[in-house]
Structure 1
Amino acid sequence: MERKRRTIKNGILFVLIGLMLMIAQACSTKPSTSNESASKQEGPKQGGTLTVVRLSDATKLDPHFITDIPSANIVYQKVYEGLVEPDKDFKIQPLLAKEWKVIDGTTWEFKLREGIKFHDGAPFNADAVKKTFDRLLDPKTASPQREKFSMIKEVKVVDENTVQLILEYPYAPLLSILASNEGSIISPKALAENPDSLSQHPVGTGPFVFESWKTGQEISLKKNENYWGKKPNIDRVVFKVVPEDATRLAMIETGEAQINDQVPVTEIDRIEASDKMALYRTEGLAVEYVGFNVKKKPFDDVRVRKAISHAIEREAIIKGVYNNVGTLANEAMSPKVFGYSDKIKPYDYDLNEAKKLLKEAGYEKGLKVTLLTSDRKERINMAEVIQSQLKGIGVDVKIQVMEYGAYIGMIEKGEHDMAIGGWGNATGDGDYNQYNLFHSASQGPPGNHFYYSNPDVDKMIEAARRESDEKKRLKLYEEVMQKEIDDAVYVPIRNYEHIAAYSKNVSGFWLNAASYLMIDDVVIK
């Protein structure tokens, strides 16, 4: 069995609230291609340090405050675990909860595994689950993740190993959100003694224990010798910050590092030509886009947003910038996410229509805007292409490149005009996409960096998260995404394909569709 520690019967979980519940107890399926797993090995070798080189440092390590996947990647399924987890096909499997049932449409009961301890020795039990979610849901905590769990009215301890989540309303994708990083269960001892320290020193139940964080340099985790499940093969993992793309690849080739999970597409040929490195590719759940801050001039005028939407030649970006890695997006939801619709049509490339709209908006003589991007090579290249394209309609684009942490800080404060962004759906469900990106309650850190607010859109998103009928949910998402396109909130660019370079002396890792690096079974030869 590929996922770590238990034997679970094959099956599929899907919930139609109030109608049916089928509990899946399935081993993750075997990879269909060699890319699904780095490589096979002849019996696992023990020990060694896995070094992962990355473009940027984490921003914070508290799952209640992490708002970006690169930071979550450090702790997800490594330091922290949730009640449930997704397998390679994003089907939900037991983790800290061994089983669960829906008592009625709004009451979910979880039976917990026994004998598990947090890294600081605190016992894992129903009270620990309650303390984690009570902290998350407390308005005083001011967690940007609170809205994702706003349907939870109460966390009820039934007995030491049984906990109930009482919901305000039926919520179909509850298990998918519990399986995400936001659903991580935190040590109650750490929460009681020094919750602020969790941003720098995470304490969970996972197979790795936090060791140290040298800001701007590296974060290290060590094997949890007291882990309740199958222990990792490796002794340590170090996430090392190396901003230069070429240097990261050179470190893989020389053996200084084993994995580079943030690889520019421009380096694919170099990787494939190397006898020391190999390339890992897998489809993702994320979508990349150009987003407008609709509260700032000139983007508070829908005609300006539509004009720029008409003037960006998206196909040229996919081919010229991304070398056809990933596919052309038609909406802010990947085809791999539940809720996707192929009926949504973005604005076509039409410079005459773009000029006409700018004239109507009073910008016949042109305008100046700033385009913000993080320092990823492809995004800088994309910004330059867009800068060139928008000259054709008289829009003068100033490109602002920021280190990833500073970029996140800026968009979370709404200080940008327009920005190249991406949404890495962490659950595979449309609610995670729509509620976080477009609902009025999610403006700022939770994900709505467009600062978009539309009461009709809010109502449709809320209706979709409460709807138990699959076909009705799909129809609601189709309707709401068309409305977001009509309002020209963003320009969809690319459905992600995640790529990584790795040393040929390492095996057993994989990237899941949300771009999390999974290292439980890693072997270093």
Structure 2
Amino acid sequence: MNKIRNGSTVVLLVAVSTIMAIFIACGGETIREVEVVKIVEKEVPVEVIKEVPVDKVVKEVVTEYITETVTETVIEIEEVEVIKEVPKPVQVEIEKLVIVTPTPGPKVEETWVPTGTFVGVSNETYTMSGYAPDCVYCATMVHLGVQESLFGTKRGDAGELVLDPWAVSSWETASDFSYTDFKARENVPFHRGFGDMDANDIVWYFNSINPLTNPDSRNDTGGQMGGTLLETSVVDDSTARFHWDAFAGHTLFKTFTDLEEGMGIFSKKAYDERGEDWIKDNMIGTGPFQLVEWIEAERVEMDAVTNHWRKTPYVNRVEILFVPENATRRAMLETTQAYAGNLPIKDWQSMFDMGFGLAPESIYTVTQIAMSGNYWEYSHIKTGDTLERVRDISKPHVGDPYEGGGTTFDGNTPSMQQSLKVRQALSRTIDRETINDVILGGLGEEHHLGYVWNNDPIWQENADAWSLPYDPDGGKALLTEAGYPDGFDIEWYVGTGDYETQQAVAADWLSKLDVNVTFDRQDYSSWRPTIVARTNSDIFGGCCWGPLLWPFEWTSNTSSFPGGYGIGMELPQSKASFNIKNGSQDQAELKAAAVDMLQYLNDWALFPGVVQQPNAAMYNPDMISWQEMRPYLWMRLGGMRSFEYIQLK
């Protein structure tokens, strides 16, 4: 059985260098010395959106701030640099790079039979579909090991990120970077007897989720291809050609690995033979686990694939249970009803004292505030067509640079200046130090600006200019100047997960600014259409991931991100930054574009941060051995992944 059913409805952080030569050719038995550009390595942590649906909408108004005493502890964070370990900040100049691509040897026969059941608990749940264009959480299938992307990622001997070819065995990029030909890996069978994967599956899949080739796609990762991939075509049964809109050193790591979200290959044969309705309820992949059942807001069950081409799991079954309550997840871990799961950071030290450990890989997450509704682009980044956007200036944090019927961006319209003061007031009335001390037990850090982390050299060079001191009196004065001496009401989407930090911010706003926050607690799947359609105008947590030299998040606040996730803002500066960063190899130019973008966000108070903290799954080493995990930039299922490496004790 392979069914998808809707229910009731330590830290390793890396940056990948933009080395074009390493992506030009791979496969076959070659050793080459090639010229490459100079690179600057930046270590950038990552925030992840938790997409957590439930079966009802709950709205809650904050009226008080509840504190608690938490023992302060210190967690040592292991930091990893790319290419080689050197003190930070790091600048590495590479003149020549030796590329070794040996022919893979014969597959080693697995000598074990998967046994036993691993049980994990998570406060995250997702809506699933086996039909790629209709699947808004399909990246989770790559994290689970049900599907496989073109590439995986792994760590090299020095801890650096390395491309690990999965669905493809080799690839070659045209000298003008207009296309890349990928060779489909041979003898990789789809689950349930749908034959071996080939180039036809790869091409069908990517064209089905790419909004440029299928405008009806609402796939969670399809929109990421905006500004990067035009279309894919079949050269022959073993070769898929990807036609690039833009190609740079980050392209393969950014979009086509399991590092970020992951795009797992679907079976064209299953679609052709069984049809859309059948595959919606039956997830087919090539991974080391086959989906048995997915019941939304309840559980996921998977069985091991014996003699898998890449890695046969040690455990025979994996069960992930949806448990929204922190105390219940902790109790299940303590009583060995579950072997791994995610817990609030304030619980970590007491769990460490009981002998629990953190999963082999972990990331930073942040709490930040996207001041959504500020759709300031006038024309489409690609076509030049006028964008149809509603700029709801009845909401105090929203401005309209075209107020009065203009067609040229004007930052001095009444709503632009009033909303700027409102956003500045809200940004400065956040007691970040107290939130870290009380809610995070002192284990996190204050965070001041979205899209950049505290340990990034770009932040460190500009921290004095971009930091936001706690100034509620100044915030109140700004609100009065903006015409809101008695405050106002505002809605904040937080989803169904933990939101204690947001409650603390809201309590501050209420007591210091008379700003009343209503929390929108509806499930993500029902709220997501508002950000895909670019109609959302309520503040929310936003998203950010990846090194600053990659053009990651800029795409989600420009019109270049069709059919996918959006930050609720479309900004002219994002368009300019994206155009530079998506095609440039020049490190100074890339850095300048990142700095300009962050300065813009700071000047217009569009994306204030709150706190930054390490995040990882916790596991019981008395019950399981978990020695290896693939690195990641997205927090899914409470940080649990790479289940094929888990061994029961």
If the TM-score is normalised by the length of the shorter chain, which range does it land in? 0.7 to 0.9
1:74-473 equivalence runs, <5 A: 74-76=141-143, 78-88=145-155, 89-104=160-175, 105-120=177-192, 121-137=194-210, 138-144=213-219, 145-150=221-226, 151-176=228-253, 177-180=255-258, 181-192=261-272, 193-195=274-276, 198=279, 200-225=281-306, 227-260=308-341, 262-275=342-355, 277-280=356-359, 283-284=362-363, 286-294=365-373, 295-296=391-392, 297-300=395-398, 301-335=419-453, 341-342=459-460, 343=462, 345-377=466-498, 379=499, 381-400=500-519, 402=521, 404-405=523-524, 408-409=527-528, 412=531, 417-419=538-540, 421=541, 423=543, 425=545, 430-436=550-556, 438-442=557-561, 446-449=564-567, 451-473=568-590
Shift of 1:441: 4.1
Name the amino acid aligned to 1:50: F
Q: Give the percent of matched residue pairs that are identical in Structure 1 and Structure 2.
A: 19
More helix by share: 1
TM-score (norm 2): 0.68
Query: Which residue of structure 2 lines up, in the alignment, with residue 54 of structure 1?
Result: 122
Name the amino acid aligned to 1:167: W
Shift of 1:234: 0.8
Query: Which residue of structure 2 lines up, in the alignment, with residue 8 of structure 1?
Result: none
Shift of 1:246: 1.6
Query: Which residue of structure 2 lines up, in the alignment, with residue 503 of structure 1?
Result: 620
Query: Which residue of structure 2 lines up, in the alignment, with residue 6 of structure 1?
Result: none
Shift of 1:135: 0.6
Change (3 A) 1:45 1:263: farther
More strand by share: 1
Name the amino acid aligned to 1:308: L
Take 2:593 and 2:351, find their aligned partners in 1: how far apart are those partners? 43
Take 1:348 and 1:34, find their aligned partners in 2: how far apart are those partners? 26
Contact kept? 1:13, 1:22, Cα under 8 Å: no
Shift of 1:499: 2.5
Name the amino acid aligned to 1:114: E
Contact kept? 2:188, 2:309, Cα under 8 Å: yes
Higher Cα radius of gyration: 2
Name the amino acid aligned to 1:117: P
Contact kept? 1:106, 1:170, Cα under 8 Å: yes
Contact kept? 2:363, 2:616, Cα under 8 Å: no
Query: Which residue of structure 2 lines up, in the alignment, with residue 72 of structure 1?
Result: 139
Contact kept? 2:472, 2:513, Cα under 8 Å: no
Contact kept? 2:424, 2:475, Cα under 8 Å: yes
Take 2:77 and 2:624, find their aligned partners in 1: how far apart are those partners? 14
Take 1:423 and 1:90, find their aligned partners in 2: how far apart are those partners? 22
Shift of 1:175: 0.5
User: Any idea what SS the aligned residue of 1:240 has?
Assistant: strand
Change (3 A) 1:410 1:494: farther
Take 2:25 and 2:455, find their aligned partners in 1: how far apart are those partners? 21
Query: Which residue of structure 1 lines up, in the alignment, with residue 87 of structure 2?
Result: none
Take 2:280 and 2:586, find their aligned partners in 1: how far apart are those partners? 39
Change (3 A) 1:110 1:339: farther
Take 1:337 and 1:60, find their aligned partners in 2: how far apart are those partners? 36
Deviations 1:141-189 (A, max 9, x none): 3235333113222323223222221212334322011114443211112
Change (3 A) 1:238 1:204: same
1:6-21 equivalence runs, <5 A: 15-17=18-20, 21=24
Shift of 1:85: 1.5
Name the amino acid aligned to 2:346: T
Take 2:473 and 2:571, find their aligned partners in 1: how far apart are those partners? 29
Name the amino acid aligned to 1:430: W
Contact kept? 2:246, 2:582, Cα under 8 Å: no
Name the amino acid aligned to 1:471: A
Change (3 A) 1:125 1:326: farther
Name the amino acid aligned to 2:165: P
User: Any idea what SS the aligned residue of 2:249 has?
Assistant: coil
Shift of 1:491: 1.4
Name the amino acid aligned to 2:302: L
Take 1:130 and 1:337, find their aligned partners in 2: how far apart are those partners? 39
Shift of 1:485: 2.2
Contact kept? 2:114, 2:312, Cα under 8 Å: no
Contact kept? 2:555, 2:561, Cα under 8 Å: yes
Take 2:537 and 2:280, find their aligned partners in 1: how far apart are those partners? 26
Take 1:254 and 1:374, find their aligned partners in 2: how far apart are those partners? 29
Shift of 1:244: 1.9
Change (3 A) 1:496 1:442: farther
Structure 1: 5+ residue runs without aligned partners? 1-11, 26-32, 37-42
Change (3 A) 1:383 1:511: farther
Name the amino acid aligned to 1:129: I
Contact kept? 1:13, 1:91, Cα under 8 Å: no
Shift of 1:264: 1.1
Contact kept? 2:436, 2:446, Cα under 8 Å: yes
Change (3 A) 1:237 1:162: same
Deviations 1:366-404 (A, max 9, x none): 222233323433x2x212211222134423323426265
Which deviates the most, 464-473 or 406-415?
A: 406-415
Structure 2: 5+ residue runs without aligned partners? 1-14, 30-75, 80-110, 374-390, 399-418
Take 2:510 and 2:470, find their aligned partners in 1: how far apart are those partners? 14
User: Any idea what SS the aligned residue of 2:145 has?
Assistant: coil
Contact kept? 2:179, 2:243, Cα under 8 Å: yes
Name the amino acid aligned to 1:122: G
Question: Is 1:520 aligned with 2:591?
Answer: no
Take 1:370 and 1:349, find their aligned partners in 2: how far apart are those partners? 22
Query: Which residue of structure 2 lines up, in the alignment, with residue 30 of structure 1?
Result: none
TM-score (norm 1): 0.83
Contact kept? 2:448, 2:468, Cα under 8 Å: no
Which deviates the most, 361-370 or 492-501?
A: 492-501
User: Any idea what SS the aligned residue of 2:551 has?
Assistant: helix
Name the amino acid aligned to 2:257: A
Shift of 1:72: 3.5
Take 1:286 and 1:313, find their aligned partners in 2: how far apart are those partners? 18
Contact kept? 1:56, 1:404, Cα under 8 Å: no
Contact kept? 2:427, 2:608, Cα under 8 Å: yes
